[in-house]
Amino acid sequence: MDKYNFLQLASSIGIFMVLLLALFLITVKTKHRLSNWLLAFFLFTNAVDALKFSMQEFPINHINLEAFRWSIVYLVPASFYLYVLSVCYSNFRLKPKHLLHTIPFVAYSLYLMWGIYFVDRASKVHFINSMNEMPLMQFFQFLFEFLFQVYFIASFLVIRKSKTVYLENYTNPNISVLNALSKITILYYVLHFIVLLRWLVTFIFGRGDIRTWIVTLDGFAFLFCTCWYLLTALNNPEFFRGVNSYLKPITEVIPKQKTSPLIVEEKNKEIQFLKDFMVEKEPYLDSSLTIQDLSEQIKMPVKDLSTLINLYMDKHFFDFVNEYRIEKAMQILKNPSQKELTVLEILYEVGFNSKSSFNTSFKKYTGKTPTDFRKNSI
Protein backbone atom coordinates (compact mmCIF):
# COMPACT_ATOMS: atom_id res chain seq x y z
CA MET A 1 0.00 0.00 0.00
CA ASP A 2 1.52 3.34 -1.06
CA LYS A 3 1.37 6.59 0.93
CA TYR A 4 -1.66 7.93 -0.93
CA ASN A 5 -3.76 4.77 -0.47
CA PHE A 6 -2.82 4.66 3.20
CA LEU A 7 -3.80 8.30 3.58
CA GLN A 8 -7.13 7.67 1.85
CA LEU A 9 -7.86 4.69 4.11
CA ALA A 10 -6.90 6.48 7.34
CA SER A 11 -8.84 9.62 6.46
CA SER A 12 -11.91 7.66 5.34
CA ILE A 13 -12.02 5.76 8.62
CA GLY A 14 -11.51 8.97 10.58
CA ILE A 15 -14.21 10.86 8.64
CA PHE A 16 -16.66 7.99 9.07
CA MET A 17 -16.04 7.85 12.83
CA VAL A 18 -16.33 11.63 13.19
CA LEU A 19 -19.61 11.79 11.26
CA LEU A 20 -20.99 8.80 13.17
CA LEU A 21 -20.13 10.45 16.49
CA ALA A 22 -21.64 13.75 15.30
CA LEU A 23 -24.86 11.97 14.32
CA PHE A 24 -25.00 10.28 17.71
CA LEU A 25 -24.48 13.57 19.54
CA ILE A 26 -27.31 15.23 17.59
CA THR A 27 -29.82 12.41 18.10
CA VAL A 28 -29.07 11.23 21.65
CA LYS A 29 -31.52 12.32 24.34
CA THR A 30 -29.69 14.24 27.05
CA LYS A 31 -29.99 17.40 29.12
CA HIS A 32 -26.64 18.53 27.67
CA ARG A 33 -28.09 19.04 24.20
CA LEU A 34 -26.35 22.35 23.48
CA SER A 35 -22.90 20.92 24.28
CA ASN A 36 -23.63 17.92 22.11
CA TRP A 37 -24.74 20.04 19.17
CA LEU A 38 -21.74 22.35 19.41
CA LEU A 39 -19.40 19.38 19.52
CA ALA A 40 -21.24 17.75 16.63
CA PHE A 41 -20.83 20.90 14.55
CA PHE A 42 -17.14 21.12 15.44
CA LEU A 43 -16.64 17.49 14.42
CA PHE A 44 -18.59 18.06 11.19
CA THR A 45 -16.36 21.00 10.20
CA ASN A 46 -13.30 18.83 10.86
CA ALA A 47 -14.75 16.02 8.74
CA VAL A 48 -15.38 18.44 5.87
CA ASP A 49 -11.82 19.76 6.09
CA ALA A 50 -10.45 16.19 6.25
CA LEU A 51 -11.90 15.47 2.80
CA LYS A 52 -8.66 17.00 1.47
CA PHE A 53 -6.85 13.78 2.45
CA SER A 54 -9.00 11.81 0.01
CA MET A 55 -8.13 14.01 -2.96
CA GLN A 56 -5.03 13.19 -4.99
CA GLU A 57 -5.60 16.13 -7.32
CA PHE A 58 -7.60 19.33 -7.25
CA PRO A 59 -11.34 18.52 -7.76
CA ILE A 60 -11.75 20.52 -10.95
CA ASN A 61 -15.33 19.27 -11.40
CA HIS A 62 -16.36 20.32 -7.91
CA ILE A 63 -14.71 23.69 -7.48
CA ASN A 64 -17.61 25.22 -5.52
CA LEU A 65 -17.58 22.38 -3.00
CA GLU A 66 -13.83 22.72 -2.57
CA ALA A 67 -14.26 26.47 -2.01
CA PHE A 68 -16.86 25.71 0.65
CA ARG A 69 -14.32 23.45 2.35
CA TRP A 70 -11.85 26.35 2.41
CA SER A 71 -14.39 28.69 4.01
CA ILE A 72 -15.89 26.38 6.64
CA VAL A 73 -12.54 26.06 8.41
CA TYR A 74 -13.06 29.63 9.63
CA LEU A 75 -15.77 28.24 11.91
CA VAL A 76 -13.59 25.51 13.44
CA PRO A 77 -11.75 27.53 16.15
CA ALA A 78 -14.89 29.46 17.16
CA SER A 79 -17.02 26.32 17.39
CA PHE A 80 -14.40 24.65 19.58
CA TYR A 81 -14.27 27.69 21.87
CA LEU A 82 -18.07 27.75 22.24
CA TYR A 83 -17.98 24.02 22.93
CA VAL A 84 -15.45 24.54 25.72
CA LEU A 85 -17.67 27.25 27.23
CA SER A 86 -20.67 24.91 27.16
CA VAL A 87 -18.72 22.16 28.92
CA CYS A 88 -17.20 24.41 31.57
CA TYR A 89 -20.32 26.44 32.39
CA SER A 90 -23.63 24.70 33.04
CA ASN A 91 -25.64 27.88 32.40
CA PHE A 92 -24.04 28.69 29.04
CA ARG A 93 -26.56 29.56 26.32
CA LEU A 94 -26.13 30.70 22.74
CA LYS A 95 -27.07 34.35 22.29
CA PRO A 96 -27.33 36.71 19.30
CA LYS A 97 -23.93 38.17 20.19
CA HIS A 98 -22.31 34.80 19.42
CA LEU A 99 -23.15 35.37 15.74
CA LEU A 100 -20.17 37.72 15.74
CA HIS A 101 -17.97 34.62 15.65
CA THR A 102 -19.26 33.87 12.14
CA ILE A 103 -18.07 37.19 10.65
CA PRO A 104 -14.73 35.78 9.28
CA PHE A 105 -16.61 32.88 7.66
CA VAL A 106 -19.18 35.22 6.11
CA ALA A 107 -16.49 37.65 4.90
CA TYR A 108 -14.42 34.89 3.30
CA SER A 109 -17.54 33.35 1.71
CA LEU A 110 -18.43 36.71 0.18
CA TYR A 111 -14.89 36.94 -1.19
CA LEU A 112 -15.26 33.48 -2.77
CA MET A 113 -18.66 34.43 -4.21
CA TRP A 114 -16.95 37.20 -6.15
CA GLY A 115 -14.10 34.98 -7.37
CA ILE A 116 -15.55 31.44 -7.56
CA TYR A 117 -19.19 30.78 -6.73
CA PHE A 118 -20.94 33.03 -9.28
CA VAL A 119 -18.53 33.04 -12.23
CA ASP A 120 -17.93 30.68 -15.14
CA ARG A 121 -15.49 27.79 -14.98
CA ALA A 122 -12.66 29.56 -16.78
CA SER A 123 -12.88 32.49 -14.35
CA LYS A 124 -12.88 30.07 -11.43
CA VAL A 125 -9.67 28.41 -12.62
CA HIS A 126 -8.01 31.78 -13.29
CA PHE A 127 -8.97 33.02 -9.82
CA ILE A 128 -7.63 29.89 -8.12
CA ASN A 129 -4.33 30.00 -10.02
CA SER A 130 -3.68 33.61 -8.98
CA MET A 131 -5.28 33.71 -5.53
CA ASN A 132 -2.08 33.04 -3.57
CA GLU A 133 -0.61 36.28 -4.94
CA MET A 134 -3.67 38.30 -3.98
CA PRO A 135 -3.14 40.55 -0.93
CA LEU A 136 -6.69 39.92 0.25
CA MET A 137 -6.15 36.14 0.19
CA GLN A 138 -2.93 36.56 2.15
CA PHE A 139 -4.88 38.64 4.66
CA PHE A 140 -7.48 35.88 5.08
CA GLN A 141 -4.75 33.29 5.59
CA PHE A 142 -3.17 35.44 8.28
CA LEU A 143 -6.61 36.07 9.81
CA PHE A 144 -7.30 32.35 10.11
CA GLU A 145 -4.03 31.69 11.91
CA PHE A 146 -4.58 34.68 14.20
CA LEU A 147 -8.11 33.53 15.06
CA PHE A 148 -6.91 29.99 15.70
CA GLN A 149 -4.32 31.16 18.22
CA VAL A 150 -6.75 33.55 19.95
CA TYR A 151 -9.56 31.01 20.27
CA PHE A 152 -7.38 28.21 21.57
CA ILE A 153 -5.61 30.45 24.08
CA ALA A 154 -9.06 31.63 25.22
CA SER A 155 -10.12 27.99 25.57
CA PHE A 156 -7.14 27.22 27.82
CA LEU A 157 -7.94 30.26 29.98
CA VAL A 158 -11.60 29.24 30.33
CA ILE A 159 -10.63 25.70 31.37
CA ARG A 160 -8.12 26.99 33.93
CA LYS A 161 -10.62 29.44 35.42
CA SER A 162 -13.32 26.75 35.60
CA LYS A 163 -10.98 24.42 37.43
CA THR A 164 -10.23 27.13 40.01
CA VAL A 165 -13.94 27.87 40.50
CA TYR A 166 -14.66 24.16 40.87
CA LEU A 167 -12.11 23.72 43.61
CA GLU A 168 -13.21 26.84 45.46
CA ASN A 169 -16.93 26.08 45.49
CA TYR A 170 -17.55 22.34 45.21
CA THR A 171 -16.43 19.28 47.15
CA ASN A 172 -16.93 16.63 44.51
CA PRO A 173 -16.06 18.31 41.21
CA ASN A 174 -15.15 16.07 38.32
CA ILE A 175 -11.72 17.57 37.74
CA SER A 176 -10.83 14.66 35.47
CA VAL A 177 -13.33 16.05 32.97
CA LEU A 178 -11.51 19.40 32.82
CA ASN A 179 -8.16 17.61 32.63
CA ALA A 180 -9.46 15.57 29.70
CA LEU A 181 -10.75 18.72 28.04
CA SER A 182 -7.31 20.31 28.45
CA LYS A 183 -5.69 17.30 26.77
CA ILE A 184 -8.20 17.44 23.91
CA THR A 185 -7.41 21.12 23.42
CA ILE A 186 -3.67 20.40 23.39
CA LEU A 187 -4.17 17.53 20.97
CA TYR A 188 -6.08 19.65 18.46
CA TYR A 189 -3.46 22.36 18.84
CA VAL A 190 -0.73 19.83 17.98
CA LEU A 191 -2.80 18.74 14.99
CA HIS A 192 -2.86 22.34 13.81
CA PHE A 193 0.91 22.58 14.31
CA ILE A 194 1.30 19.77 11.76
CA VAL A 195 -0.78 21.86 9.36
CA LEU A 196 1.55 24.82 9.93
CA LEU A 197 4.52 22.55 9.26
CA ARG A 198 2.93 21.43 5.99
CA TRP A 199 2.42 25.05 4.92
CA LEU A 200 6.03 25.89 5.76
CA VAL A 201 7.43 22.89 3.85
CA THR A 202 5.22 23.69 0.85
CA PHE A 203 6.44 27.29 0.86
CA ILE A 204 10.13 26.29 1.08
CA PHE A 205 10.36 23.00 -0.89
CA GLY A 206 7.15 22.97 -2.92
CA ARG A 207 4.93 19.91 -3.39
CA GLY A 208 7.57 17.21 -3.03
CA ASP A 209 8.00 13.97 -1.09
CA ILE A 210 8.57 15.78 2.21
CA ARG A 211 5.19 17.48 1.94
CA THR A 212 3.56 14.15 0.99
CA TRP A 213 4.90 12.52 4.14
CA ILE A 214 3.71 15.43 6.28
CA VAL A 215 0.25 15.23 4.71
CA THR A 216 0.25 11.49 5.50
CA LEU A 217 1.24 12.25 9.10
CA ASP A 218 -1.52 14.87 9.24
CA GLY A 219 -4.12 12.35 8.06
CA PHE A 220 -2.96 9.73 10.54
CA ALA A 221 -3.00 12.32 13.32
CA PHE A 222 -6.60 13.18 12.41
CA LEU A 223 -7.58 9.52 12.78
CA PHE A 224 -5.64 9.22 16.04
CA CYS A 225 -7.29 12.34 17.50
CA THR A 226 -10.72 11.00 16.62
CA CYS A 227 -10.06 7.61 18.25
CA TRP A 228 -8.50 9.20 21.31
CA TYR A 229 -11.44 11.55 21.76
CA LEU A 230 -13.89 8.64 21.60
CA LEU A 231 -11.94 6.80 24.30
CA THR A 232 -11.85 9.94 26.45
CA ALA A 233 -15.59 10.43 26.14
CA LEU A 234 -16.25 6.78 27.06
CA ASN A 235 -14.02 7.06 30.13
CA ASN A 236 -15.76 10.28 31.25
CA PRO A 237 -19.53 9.61 31.02
CA GLU A 238 -20.24 12.83 32.94
CA PHE A 239 -18.32 14.86 30.42
CA PHE A 240 -20.82 17.71 30.41
CA ARG A 241 -20.87 18.91 33.99
CA GLY A 242 -20.21 22.61 34.44
CA VAL A 243 -20.18 25.38 37.00
CA ASN A 244 -22.17 28.58 37.05
CA SER A 245 -20.46 31.12 34.81
CA TYR A 246 -21.27 33.92 37.26
CA LEU A 247 -18.96 32.37 39.85
CA LYS A 248 -15.48 33.87 39.83
CA PRO A 249 -12.20 32.91 41.50
CA ILE A 250 -11.95 34.47 44.95
CA THR A 251 -8.84 36.42 43.97
CA GLU A 252 -10.94 38.30 41.40
CA VAL A 253 -13.67 39.11 43.92
CA ILE A 254 -11.73 40.03 47.06
CA PRO A 255 -9.09 42.76 46.88
CA LYS A 256 -5.79 42.11 48.60
CA GLN A 257 -5.92 43.26 52.20
CA LYS A 258 -3.08 44.38 54.40
CA THR A 259 -2.77 42.08 57.37
CA SER A 260 -2.68 43.44 60.90
CA PRO A 261 -2.57 41.78 64.35
CA LEU A 262 -6.28 42.53 64.86
CA ILE A 263 -7.27 41.02 61.50
CA VAL A 264 -5.09 37.96 62.09
CA GLU A 265 -6.60 37.40 65.53
CA GLU A 266 -10.13 37.80 64.20
CA LYS A 267 -9.49 35.39 61.34
CA ASN A 268 -7.88 32.84 63.67
CA LYS A 269 -11.04 32.85 65.79
CA GLU A 270 -13.20 32.35 62.71
CA ILE A 271 -10.94 29.53 61.51
CA GLN A 272 -11.15 27.79 64.88
CA PHE A 273 -14.92 28.17 64.93
CA LEU A 274 -15.12 26.67 61.45
CA LYS A 275 -12.89 23.73 62.39
CA ASP A 276 -14.91 23.02 65.55
CA PHE A 277 -18.13 23.12 63.52
CA MET A 278 -16.73 20.66 60.96
CA VAL A 279 -15.74 18.21 63.70
CA GLU A 280 -18.96 18.47 65.74
CA LYS A 281 -21.64 18.71 63.03
CA GLU A 282 -19.84 16.76 60.27
CA PRO A 283 -21.44 18.62 57.32
CA TYR A 284 -18.86 17.02 55.02
CA LEU A 285 -20.83 13.76 55.11
CA ASP A 286 -23.19 15.35 52.60
CA SER A 287 -21.70 14.38 49.23
CA SER A 288 -23.36 17.35 47.51
CA LEU A 289 -22.08 19.93 50.01
CA THR A 290 -21.19 23.27 48.43
CA ILE A 291 -19.68 26.37 49.91
CA GLN A 292 -23.13 27.98 49.74
CA ASP A 293 -24.58 25.16 51.86
CA LEU A 294 -21.84 25.46 54.48
CA SER A 295 -22.18 29.25 54.65
CA GLU A 296 -25.88 28.86 55.48
CA GLN A 297 -25.13 26.33 58.20
CA ILE A 298 -22.54 28.46 59.99
CA LYS A 299 -24.42 31.70 59.21
CA MET A 300 -21.50 33.35 57.45
CA PRO A 301 -21.71 35.13 54.06
CA VAL A 302 -20.44 32.99 51.19
CA LYS A 303 -17.86 35.59 50.21
CA ASP A 304 -16.46 35.76 53.75
CA LEU A 305 -16.33 31.97 54.05
CA SER A 306 -14.63 31.61 50.69
CA THR A 307 -12.09 34.27 51.67
CA LEU A 308 -11.45 32.56 54.98
CA ILE A 309 -10.79 29.15 53.42
CA ASN A 310 -9.11 30.08 50.14
CA LEU A 311 -7.04 33.06 51.28
CA TYR A 312 -6.45 32.82 55.02
CA MET A 313 -6.29 29.01 55.25
CA ASP A 314 -4.65 28.82 51.82
CA LYS A 315 -6.79 25.86 50.76
CA HIS A 316 -9.39 25.21 48.14
CA PHE A 317 -12.84 24.41 49.50
CA PHE A 318 -12.48 21.05 47.73
CA ASP A 319 -9.32 20.14 49.70
CA PHE A 320 -10.60 21.66 52.96
CA VAL A 321 -13.73 19.49 53.06
CA ASN A 322 -12.08 16.36 51.73
CA GLU A 323 -9.48 16.42 54.50
CA TYR A 324 -12.27 15.86 57.02
CA ARG A 325 -13.71 13.10 54.85
CA ILE A 326 -10.32 11.39 54.68
CA GLU A 327 -9.89 11.69 58.47
CA LYS A 328 -13.31 10.07 58.92
CA ALA A 329 -12.43 7.34 56.44
CA MET A 330 -9.16 6.68 58.27
CA GLN A 331 -11.04 6.21 61.54
CA ILE A 332 -13.33 3.66 59.91
CA LEU A 333 -10.48 1.84 58.17
CA LYS A 334 -8.57 1.55 61.47
CA ASN A 335 -11.62 0.27 63.37
CA PRO A 336 -11.52 -3.57 63.61
CA SER A 337 -15.27 -3.70 64.27
CA GLN A 338 -15.92 -2.17 60.83
CA LYS A 339 -13.54 -4.32 58.82
CA GLU A 340 -16.45 -5.89 56.93
CA LEU A 341 -17.24 -2.56 55.27
CA THR A 342 -15.84 -2.36 51.75
CA VAL A 343 -13.84 0.63 50.56
CA LEU A 344 -16.74 1.54 48.27
CA GLU A 345 -19.17 1.58 51.20
CA ILE A 346 -16.78 3.69 53.27
CA LEU A 347 -16.24 6.32 50.59
CA TYR A 348 -19.99 6.81 50.22
CA GLU A 349 -20.41 6.94 53.98
CA VAL A 350 -17.85 9.74 54.43
CA GLY A 351 -19.25 11.92 51.64
CA PHE A 352 -17.43 10.93 48.44
CA ASN A 353 -19.40 9.86 45.40
CA SER A 354 -16.54 8.78 43.17
CA LYS A 355 -14.05 5.98 43.79
CA SER A 356 -11.36 7.62 41.70
CA SER A 357 -11.78 10.95 43.53
CA PHE A 358 -11.62 9.15 46.89
CA ASN A 359 -8.50 7.18 46.01
CA THR A 360 -6.75 10.27 44.65
CA SER A 361 -7.59 12.38 47.71
CA PHE A 362 -6.75 9.58 50.15
CA LYS A 363 -3.32 8.95 48.61
CA LYS A 364 -2.62 12.68 48.44
CA TYR A 365 -3.43 13.04 52.14
CA THR A 366 -1.89 9.81 53.54
CA GLY A 367 0.59 8.68 50.89
CA LYS A 368 -1.18 5.29 50.73
CA THR A 369 -4.15 3.75 49.01
CA PRO A 370 -7.19 2.99 51.24
CA THR A 371 -6.55 -0.75 50.93
CA ASP A 372 -2.88 -0.46 51.95
CA PHE A 373 -3.79 1.84 54.82
CA ARG A 374 -6.31 -0.68 56.15
CA LYS A 375 -3.84 -3.57 55.89
CA ASN A 376 -1.22 -1.65 57.88
CA SER A 377 -3.70 -0.44 60.50
CA ILE A 378 -5.66 -3.53 61.51
Cβ pair 302, 346 in contact under 8 A: no
Residue 169 has pLDDT above 70, yes or no: yes
The mean of the pLDDT values for the chain is 80
Q: Which CATH architecture has domain 250-377?
A: Orthogonal Bundle (1.10)
**Nearest partner of 243 among 286, 292, 283, judged by Cα:** 292
Convert the pLDDT of each residue in 209-262 to its tens digit.
666 666 666 666 766 776 676 666 655 555 544 444 455 565 555 555 545 566
The structure's pTM equals 0.70
Q: Which of 123-137, 172-186, 267-281 shows the lowest mean pLDDT across its residues?
A: 172-186
Confidence of residue 278 (pLDDT cuts 50, 70, 90): very high
Residue 325 has pLDDT above 90, yes or no: yes
Cβ pair 70, 112 in contact under 8 A: yes
Domain spans of the chain, in order of start: 3-235, 250-377
212-221: Cβ within 8 A, 24+ apart? 212/3, 212/4, 213/3, 215/7, 215/53, 216/3, 216/6, 216/7, 218/53, 218/191, 218/194, 219/7, 219/10, 219/11, 219/14, 219/50, 219/53, 220/7, 220/10, 221/190, 221/191, 221/194
CATH fold label, 3-235:
Rhopdopsin 7-helix transmembrane proteins (1.20.1070)
